Each structure stands twice: as structure tokens, then as C-alpha cells.
Amino acid sequence: MAHIADLLAAGRTYSFEFSPPGTEAGWLTLGRTIAELDALNPSFVSVTYGAGGGTRRRTHEAVAWIRKETPVTPMAHLTCVSHTRDEIAEILDAYDSVEVENILALAGDPPSDPANARPSDYRYALELVEHVREHNPHFSIGVAAHPEVHPRSVSSAADRDHLAAKLRVADFAITQFFFELDAYLGLVDDLEKRGVDKPIIPGIMPITNIASVARMAQLSGAAIPTWLTDRLGSVADDPDAVRAVGVDTATDLAAALLAAGAPGLHFYTLNRSTATREIYANLGLAP
């Protein structure tokens, strides 16, 4: 199976992110979405992992299915919240057994009820990255990056220092979504000043619903700029117009990122393909 680090070394990557469904209807939707996006020849796809391992089984099932039944390279998200080292080792062995060797190592969201949280052997994502590397040096490891700083970081400098430390062990990073080019360029510049030049793949989130993106932005620390809220607010009563603004602004950002030399694009699909396919067509990337 292709390693994402090797794909990035060979050229730009174009990738999509999915979440493991919780219902039979959701699995059917995901299968249809993957089939539709497969026509775009993605470099790889990733599958998310619930807080504290809440989707552990479903994440593994989705990743293993993609590996076995499709020609697409999958990457499994993995969080260290509420996990012991033995549990992580078991999960990594399970992925190795189905020939999945691309891991996105994340801290994960803190448990909603700390009093009832399961034990964890990890305090920071860096410790998970180091464990994955030690457990199987052949894994290709990605980490998360926040262009506008992780919401739980004490400062911008501390956030960048921590990311640089992760990237000295990992192979690449994928960013949380953002809406302005300067946020990405500033992140890359901050890492270069720290002697880190690993590939930083920007994450693209086409807005199709104002309320849901606002909620996700609040959780992730991403800022929705005034010019964008104004555009969305002017068409807030028209869902089709909101979606058109989302696709147009995502297309403009993606084009600017590619022009600035970004090593690829990672699309947050929300398990739907239409917006991503439209952006692909707008960029002239569709086969």
C-alpha cells in the first residue's frame, strides 16, 4: 500500500476525509460518496476517530473496507485521549494486519465528563506520535496543525513549538480548516523559522450550512472572517445561495493555496461528494 509520505515526495496530493457512519443508511451514503469521489483519483482518504475511541470499531471497519474493496489508499485517524499504550498497540497491530500503514495521530477532544473518563497513558499528541513511530517504524504518520492556533494552547508560540516537535517525528501535517490564505502562509513560515520543512497539507471546508460550520469553527479555533460572514448573511435565507458562496470561497482559497505552493489539498467532505466535486471542476482538477 502507498505511504502518504512517499506520495507527497512524488508530488501534490489531493485527499478526502470521511467519518465512520453509525447507521446502515449512513454506510450506504458513505459507500456512494466514496464511489463518486473515486472518479477524481484521490491520492488518499482519511477516516475520523471519535473522542476517547468512541468510533474505534467503526473507524477500523471503514478503513479496512476501503483498503480491501477500493483502489484508494486509506489513512486511519487515531487519538490518545482515554487510551492506554497497550490499547494503542493493539489498534496499531490490527491496522498492520489489514495492510493499513498510514496513521493520523491526534490528541483528540477531552472527555465531556472528566470524572468518568477512562485512563490515559498520554498527555500530549507528541507522545502518541512517538509511540506509533516506535511501534512500527514503517508507518507513515501525519499530525494535525491549526493555522489559527489550537484553542487549548497557552500561546501562539507554544502551539508552534509543539507542532514543530511533532513534525520532527512525523512525516507530514494536515491543517484544521481555515478561510484566509495568510493563516496558512503564517503557519508554514513559523515552522520554517523553527527548522521544520515537512509538508503541511491545507484542509478545505466548503461551507454548505452556516450553523454547522460556525459550531465546528468554535470547537476548532478557526475564525470565520467578517467578509465571509457578511456574504453568507446576505443570503442566509436561501440554502442554495449559501452553498454557492461556500463552494466559490473554497475554490478561491484552494486556487490561492496551490498558487502559493501548497503540497496538496485535503477536503473535509462531511460524507458528501457534491461540493468537493464542484470545487475540483472549478479548479480544473477533475479527470
Q: Which 3 state secondary structure label does DSSP give 269?
A: coil
In degrees and rounded to multiples of 5, residue 18 shows phi and psi of -125, 165
CA geometry: angle 204, 208, 213, nearest 5 deg: 70
Structural element, H or E, at residue 140:
strand 140-145
> Which stretches of the chain are assigned E, i.e. beta strand?
13-18, 44-47, 74-79, 102-106, 140-145, 172-177, 200-204, 264-268
Please tell me which residue in 17, 101, 148, 278 is annotated as part of the active site.
Answer: 17
Strands 172-177 and 140-145: parallel
Contact call for residues 47 and 59 (beta carbons, < 8 A): yes
Is 192 annotated as catalytic? no
Place of cell 486509506: 74
Kindly list the catalytic residues.
17
